[in-house]
């Protein structure tokens, strides 16, 4: 772990990070990366088993982590989640709003429940967790809030009107909250991944993957670690003069 800190110039020692949707995929890698850099991690997932698995993985590597299951789309649960994080670690320094789902379908066939579910999980959860965590960060006069958006929120994507709307909303949310909290030494930024190799993309057909490759200038799908590295930078003091920005990690898709 010490070598990791020295080699990157990023030191999150004694910082406390709450990562939502950390049970698998991008969220899991973010939690592991921040832990490797010294942060104590509150691992959130909707399911207690997955959050416990990631927390155990961190502890086996010598880090400090607590599993906290909650549905962050429900405001009361998001508020309780932040309170539990503070109860365990006495503070919350870093919030990564990563929880997200997809319910893809063409607009004319999209069900109202699928629209509502995606907007609630992807956008309302960020509002709920940020509102709850920022109260503590304001008292501390320190905080790093990182919202995981998507390239779909920048350029759109067929069959993802709900998902693209939720992620585009997250970008506007990031800018507004960054302006509100800047005076308390709290930065708010967004990371917009492109197509990342996760459980969801592994199920894509070879033809769909081939079509995707043609749209990505770097010619490959991203890895969850590509996103985790950017999040770690934004969570660190190296990014103390950066706020209200969106960083695309997409192999060049949105340029």
Average pLDDT, the chain: 94
- Of 104, 100, 27, give the one whose Cα is nearest residue 67: 27
The whole-number pLDDT of residue 199 equals 76
Percent of the chain topping pLDDT 70: 96
The whole-number pLDDT of residue 241 equals 98
Give the sheet arrangement for strand 186-193, strand by strand: 65-69, 40-45, 16-19, 94-97, 143-148, 186-193, 246-249
Residues 175-206: tens digit of each pLDDT:
999 999 999 999 999 999 999 998 767 777 78
For the purposes of burial, counting CB atoms within 10 Å of the CB of 255, is it exposed (0-12), middle (13-18) or buried (19 or more)? exposed
The whole-number pLDDT of residue 5 equals 46
Q: H helices then E strands: how many in the chain?
A: 11, 7
- Of 11, 147, 141, 127, give the one whose Cα is nearest residue 72: 127
Q: Which residues in the chain land under pLDDT 50?
A: 1-3, 5-6
Active site residues: 163
Write down the pTM of the prediction: 0.94
The whole-number pLDDT of residue 1 equals 43
Yes or no: say if 157 and 164 are a contact pair by the CB < 8 Å rule: yes
Residues 41-56: tens digit of each pLDDT:
999 999 999 999 999 9
**223 φ, ψ (degrees, to nearest 5):** -110, 150
């Amino acid at each position: 772990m010490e070598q990791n800190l020295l080699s990157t110039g990023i030191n999150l020692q004694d910082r406390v990070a709450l990562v939502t949707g950390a049970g698998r995929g991008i969220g899991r890698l973010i939690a592991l990366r921040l832990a490797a850099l010294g942060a104590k991690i509150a691992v959130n997932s909707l399911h207690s088993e997955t959050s416990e698995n990631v927390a155990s993985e961190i502890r086996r590597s010598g880090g400090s982590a607590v599993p906290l299951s909650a549905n962050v789309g429900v405001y009361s649960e998001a508020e309780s989640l932040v309170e539990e994080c503070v109860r365990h670690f006495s503070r919350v320094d870093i919030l990564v709003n990563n929880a997200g789902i997809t319910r893809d379908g063409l607009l004319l066939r999209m069900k109202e429940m699928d629209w509502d579910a995606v907007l609630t999980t992807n956008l309302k959860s960020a509002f709920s967790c940020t509102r709850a965590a920022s109260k503590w960060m304001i008292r501390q006069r320190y905080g790093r809030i990182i919202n995981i958006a998507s390239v779909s929120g920048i350029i759109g994507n067929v069959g993802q009107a709900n998902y693209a709307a939720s992620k585009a909303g997250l970008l506007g949310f990031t800018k507004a909250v960054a302006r509100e909290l800047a005076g308390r030494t709290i930065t708010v930024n967004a990371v917009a991944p492109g197509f990342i190799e996760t459980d969801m993309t592994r199920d894509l057909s070879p033809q769909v993957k081939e079509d995707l490759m043609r749209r990505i200038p770097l010619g490959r799908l991203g890895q969850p670690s590509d996103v985790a590295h950017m999040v770690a930078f934004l969570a660190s003091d190296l990014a103390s003069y950066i706020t209200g920005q969106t960083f695309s990690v997409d192999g060049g898709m949105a340029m």
